[in-house]
Amino acid sequence: MKVLITGSHGQLGRDVVNAFSPTCTVFAFGRDELDIANTEQVNEKISAVKPDIIIHCAAYTAVDLAETETDKAYQVNAIGTRNVTVAAENVGAKICYISTDYVFDGKGTSPYKEYDSTNPQGVYGRSKWAGEQLVQSLSTKYFIVRTSWVFGKHGQNFVKTMLKFGREKGSLKVVNDQIGSPTYTVDLAAFLSELVFTEKYGIYHASNSDICSWFDFAKEIFTQARVTVDLNPCKTEEFPRPAPRPAYSVMDHMAIRTNGFKDLPPWQDALKRFLREIGEIE
């Protein structure tokens, strides 16, 4: 089985490569090897490999910068995704597009189901939603997997930032009015490596189970890592950012349940395994 992975040098991409390598022939392309916005290059690479499955991890993820780099965000997340999807369809490959909780407006009060109406508020979310639309209209064999609050060994993320700032500053404020679910890249990659070998196509929500605020998440990080910090909750408006953050981005995993898959483990357990992976705890 040949699996082609875009964005293979990214935080998720590296763990996706690790998840598929033991059982598949993996063709891993980072930005330097494959510019997904380049239609000809995408067609050339994918037609040469003729993969059975494409895991499309490549994305423009600079949420705040996207507000001023609108064209660049759409060029990667929409046009790039179109290019990959068309090329996948041309060789008969399944495609798995990694999307985001930012396709929702964050104004809900109960977990978003996969087929609830989307209403992205910022450029990043709108460009990722555009990618979803293109995948659905151009592929006959697609999986769209929305995830949230991603952390992993290979890249910068909230966990690493909290540990760094906690040790440097000793006192921190963290927002307590944004609610969601953290996702460990190892667990998400494991789910993808099960999902894409089926024909259970459609949209999925995949994050570690259970919910928390960023403040709750930070508190658990410091507790597990045994770092003493004066941690205080605050409101989102105390830290204004160019792009709006969803206040409530909890996603229901209805598609995982109804298609007979096992849900991802609780985020607290995932955090413990991640801290162990990076050598923070034994």
Q: What is the pLDDT of residue 240?
A: 87
Provide the 3-class DSSP secondary structure of residue 37.
coil
Which residue from 60, 63, 64 is spatially nearest to 72, judged by alpha carbons? 60
Q: What is the pLDDT of residue 50?
A: 98
Q: Who contacts 36 (Cβ-Cβ below 8 Å, separation ≥6)?
A: 6, 42, 58, 76, 80, 81, 83, 84
Q: Who contacts 96 (Cβ-Cβ below 8 Å, separation ≥6)?
A: 53, 54, 55, 56, 142, 143, 144, 145, 192, 195, 196
Q: Which two tokens stand for residue 209?
A: 């189970």
CA 2 vs. chain centroid, Å, equals 22
Measured distance CA(276)–CA(66) in Å, rounded: 33
For residue 115, indicate whether it is catalytic. no
Question: Is 64:243 a contact under the CB 8 Å cutoff?
Answer: yes
Question: Is 122:244 a contact under the CB 8 Å cutoff?
Answer: yes
CA 17 vs. chain centroid, Å, equals 15
Measured distance CA(219)–CA(234) in Å, rounded: 13
Beta pairing partners, 145: 98, 204
Residues of the chain with pLDDT under 50: none
Question: Is 271:160 a contact under the CB 8 Å cutoff?
Answer: no
102 DSSP 8-state letter:
G
Q: Which two tokens stand for residue 235?
A: 């409101």
CA 241 vs. chain centroid, Å, equals 20
Catalytic option among 124, 184, 201, 248: 124
Q: What is the CATH number assigned to the segment(s) 2-156+181-209+249-266?
A: 3.40.50.720
CA 256 vs. chain centroid, Å, equals 16
Question: Is 206:264 a contact under the CB 8 Å cutoff?
Answer: yes
Q: Which two tokens stand for residue 273?
A: 């395994």
Q: What is the pLDDT of residue 239?
A: 83
Strands (E), 101-175: 142-147, 150-151, 171-175
